[in-house]
Structure 1
Amino acid sequence: MGERLMNTAARATLARSVRVEEIMGMPISIHVLNERGSLSQTAERAVEACFAELRDIERVFSTYRDDSDIRRIAKGELDSADADARVAEVEAACRAAAIETGGLFSAMWQGSFDPTGYVKGWSVENAACRHLAPLLESEVAVGINAGGDMQLFTAPDSDWRWNVGIADPRRPGQVIATLEVRNGAVATSGSAERGSHIIDPRTGEPARGVVSASVVDDSLTRADLWATAAVVAGFEDRSWVARSGTRTGIVIADDGRLTRWLDGTSVDVVAVDSALG
């Protein structure tokens, strides 16, 4: 959500192969860059294995499928101890995330376990690291884009940089900033595309004040977590930035102001129009 991978003319010598599947209710695309112009059998198998793992994650964690482990636990049909082992792993990670964010994130705010806000980044990062990162032995770069949240890899001997466009929440189709990422992750959260769907777990009310928050980190799990935390914190509260340990990011208020940070330090606050100028 809110980001797109951008090509540049200077890099036109590299061919990009893209595979797309609809999983977890969103388009997930895998991008492989090389000079051959086609995918090897090894790459084809890795791409399919990555998609297969994500489909399996959906089977376990979907809140829309009545037969998922999460839904069956919520309905009292399945004991947590008998669920897929990854449920306990995610539950422990969500408890740690709630503490780390100071309550800006919670998978238990409704009284039952709902890890929706955590599983996306966690699952995409894990599947990408397991199946796609090893392709760098033969490919120039490989990345995955899950509804706008990305985990990106570049081979050590390549000077390739991924250009990630951050969407302007006030101007559909426009880009407000472009970030260069060699290896790492970018996640965006906010109300620009899906309305006020992010709930402040401290109040049970929709989070207000931030229309878009984009975070860059080594890990998509953490980038996604802190992008959500940024929306819940609101525009005026940037105390979380230093403790997040994230690389950089951009937060845009619903009144048009923008703030960004680098290595835990808030850089400035400007109007979006000024930033674009």
Structure 2
Amino acid sequence: MSEPSRRAWTAELMGTTASIHVIGTPDACAAATDAAASTVAALRELEAIFSTYRADSEISRLRRGELSFADADPRLTDVADACRRVEEATGGRFSAFWREGFDPTGYVKGWATDVAATAHLQPLLAMPGVSAVGINVGGDLRVWTAPGAPWSWTVGIADPVRPGAALATLRVRNGAVATSGTAERGAHLVDPRSGIAVSAAVSATVVADDLTTADVWATALAVAAGEDTGWLWDAPLRSAMTVTDAGVRRWVAGVGVETVAATAD
């Protein structure tokens, strides 16, 4: 059996690079161009509403007091309500409300990717010849594979201590993978409960059904990397791994937790 074709499209948006991938026959991949463009357009529409880096966005106007939730796009209220639920579920380890008013940046990237890709990419699986579709936004992934297709997505987990090195490789057919930590952007993580920056090198990778869940829980896990993991018993995760600069890996699978020393390989 010949290897399937792979077509990719890239775009700069949400402060990072997004790439869309379609796996299948050459004709099927070529026919996916409109779906890829629609996905990017949907992401740009949401960016115009939620980007805190754009002075004209609705979230920026809301934060300046120029716009109320009642007069804003109703998706702002939906996201604010969802962020409150996530804050409660994570015990405050993730929060969109702890500084300078409402800032859902840590929630919106995963959520917007889910919304756009579910609307425009996932339907491609019904097209003859399409084996799999996926989107990568800043290193976080949402992927789908057609039933019975001989394809799985390969995802590397970066080492926060050794730049460029990988700790493990995951294979995922359907779902989402997100990583949060200091490997790429340095000490940018802050614990909302204390306002103190996470200074140690840390990485947290989460596999979940959707990228909204994977993204916010990866952030919460990275903030809480040194804590006991008992608070994760009811978390909506398939699996996760955290790594600290003390050389400790914690694997979380369902409700089981295993801790092993990190190796140099």
Contact 1:207–1:234 (8 Å) recurs in 2: no
1:201 equivalent in alignment to 2:201? no
1:169-248 matches, within 5 Å, as 169-209=160-200, 211-248=202-239
Residue 79 (structure 1) shift: 1.5
Residue 72 (structure 1) shift: 0.5
Match of residue 25 from structure 1: 15
Partner Cα distance (1:225, 1:91) in 2? 14
SS at match of 2:103: coil
RCO greater where, 1 or 2, for CA within 8 Å and sep 6 or more? Answer: 1
Match of residue 8 from structure 1: none
CA distance 1:260–1:12, shift in 2 (3 Å) = farther
Q: Deviations over 1:13-37 (max 9, x none)?
A: 1111000000011000000001226
Count of aligned residue pairs for this structure pair: 263
Give the counterpart letter for 2:106 in structure 1.
Answer: G
Give the counterpart letter for 2:58 in structure 1.
Answer: D
RMSD of Structure 2 on Structure 1 (CA): 1.6
1:95 equivalent in alignment to 2:84? yes
Contact 1:30–1:144 (8 Å) recurs in 2: yes
- Name the TM-score, length of structure 1 as normaliser: 0.91
Residue 71 (structure 1) shift: 0.6
Give every structure 1 segment of 4 or more consecutive aligned residues whose post-TM-superposition deviation is greater than 4 Å: none
Structure 2: gaps of 5 or more residues: none
Contact 2:183–2:201 (8 Å) recurs in 1: no
Partner Cα distance (1:174, 1:32) in 2? 27
Partner Cα distance (1:226, 1:12) in 2? 38
Q: Deviations over 1:39-98 (max 9, x none)?
A: 343x11111111001001110011110000111111111122111111001000001111
- Name the TM-score, length of structure 2 as normaliser: 0.95
Match of residue 86 from structure 1: 75
Contact 1:103–1:202 (8 Å) recurs in 2: yes
CA distance 1:12–1:143, shift in 2 (3 Å) = farther
Partner Cα distance (2:119, 2:92) in 1? 30
Q: Deviations over 1:204-244 (max 9, x none)?
A: 11134451000001111011111001011132321232221
Give the counterpart letter for 2:260 in structure 1.
Answer: V
